Structure 1
Amino acid sequence: MAALWCAATGVQAQAPQPAGGPSIYACVDSKGRRLTSDRPIAECLDREQRELNPSGSLRRVVVPPPTEMERLAQEARDRAEVERRAQAAEQARRERVMLVRYPNEAAHNAERASALQRVDESMALTRLRIGQLERQQKDVEAAMARFAADSAKMPNGLFQEKADVLKAIGIQKKALAELEQEKQRVHLRFDTESAQLRPLWASPPPEPAQPAPILLPR
């Protein structure tokens, strides 16, 4: 165990003495005893030991190797730190991309207006189609009304035509509702981007990189 501890801490039990003279190791063991030795103390492998100069001044503190739980906890912290840095780098990359695409608020507002216009145009076409289908529904219902006195003479095709028209109206109304949701998503997207971009727009632009001087041969 002493060999493992020495390997983990970088201390050799019989290492050559440093230029400042022989070391003195001191610690308090698990029983509260103050121990000293000219080499790492086996009774204090699980706790800090002070390495002293011959004068008694502190040369360094030798820490014990981590326990399995401490090692796992440190690895978890290291992984979390790596992930945090990766997320920060990705966020910085996204901000650079957004700044290139939207260098100022006017450009961002213009893109919002363009996106909303496309949705509005689709909604207008959908409403137009719903109006056409509703007029077709009225025509079918008017044709069916002529057979109200004798429904047995009503052509079967009228029932199917009405069912088809009602189904088509339902599809178009569903599409219109989805377009309404898309319009809300567009607003939410641009509102979120605007909140991210405002601090970036307010920051001074980075200094352009200076080209390296070209040395001409003499």
Structure 2
Amino acid sequence: MLCSGLLSTASAQGIFTCTDSRGKKITSDRPIPECMDREQKELNASGTVKRSLGPTLTAQEISAQEVRDKKEAEDRARVSDERRRNRALLTRYQNQAAHDAERASALTQVDAVIQTANKRMAELAEQRKVLDSELEFYKNDPSKAPVYLKRRVTEFQENLVAQQRFIANQQLEKKRVNDRFDEELSRLKPLWAGVVN
């Protein structure tokens, strides 16, 4: 009676089997300590494989496995993100004409800002002429120029430098716009050709 109770318990739990390091096949009603460094199979009562148990890993092996798992997850996320970005690009630009039109529109906006800034530079050039004519009287001894005139010269210089910096930044923005559209175009060409899904 006791023996049949043990057998039914073992059947309910499953049967573990493995081949140890000496090539001996071992069977047990629980995971086998001699096979902790190798794969074990848990069998159903019918003898079919219920699951496989991998070897018990050392702390170093667990750490290495975690690094591999993390890298695989990052790779999957990167591929998924790339596909999502490709779909978004194709939705936005169905062909090169649409992409070229948006590039032209973006560059036109930057050019309009640069044109306004250049008008401001022309205004500053006119201000410089007025200042120069007023400073002409003090050219032999600029230190005798009145405080208000010195302040206007300082303000002019600050405005000129700020405007030059602004125009330089807009030129950089124009380059950034072109670089972005170039990068998109290199990704879109194979998508339009149907090379990438």
Please give the TM-score of this superposition, normalised by the length of structure 2.
0.74
Offset at residue 94 of structure 1 (A): 1.4
Q: Which stretch of the first structure deviates more once superposed, 106-115 or 42-51?
A: 42-51
Alignment of 1:121 onto 2:112: yes
Offset at residue 181 of structure 1 (A): 0.5
Instruction: State the match for 2:91 in structure 1.
Output: 100
Offset at residue 66 of structure 1 (A): 2.6
- Listed one character per residue, the Cα deviations across residues 81-123 of structure 1 (whole Å, up to 9, x for unaligned) are 2222222222211111111111110000111111111111111
Structure 1 SS opposite 2:20 = strand
Taking only aligned residues, the RMSD between alpha carbons, in angstroms, comes to: 3.5
Instruction: State the match for 1:136 in structure 2.
Output: 127
Correspondence for 2:20 among 19, 23, 27: 27
Alignment of 1:197 onto 2:188: yes
Aligned partners of 2:78 and 2:141: how far apart in 1?
A: 74
Offset at residue 149 of structure 1 (A): 6.1
Aligned partners of 2:191 and 2:19: how far apart in 1?
A: 56
Structure 2 SS opposite 1:90 = helix
Give 1 or 2: higher helix fraction.
2
Length, aligned pairs only: 179
Offset at residue 171 of structure 1 (A): 0.7
Instruction: State the match for 1:172 in structure 2.
Output: 163
Does structure 1 conserve the Cα–Cα contact (< 8 Å) formed by 2:19 and 2:35?
Answer: no
Aligned partners of 1:188 and 1:169: how far apart in 2?
A: 29
Letter in 2 for 1:28: S
- Shift of the 42–97 alpha-carbon distance from structure 1 to 2, 3 Å rule, reads closer
- Shift of the 50–172 alpha-carbon distance from structure 1 to 2, 3 Å rule, reads closer
Does structure 2 conserve the Cα–Cα contact (< 8 Å) formed by 1:27 and 1:49?
Answer: no
Question: Structure 2: 5+ residue runs without aligned partners?
Answer: 1-8, 43-48
Structure 1 SS opposite 2:37 = coil
- Shift of the 61–196 alpha-carbon distance from structure 1 to 2, 3 Å rule, reads closer
Please give the TM-score of this superposition, normalised by the length of structure 1.
0.67
Aligned partners of 1:23 and 1:78: how far apart in 2?
A: 28
Does structure 2 conserve the Cα–Cα contact (< 8 Å) formed by 1:25 and 1:50?
Answer: yes
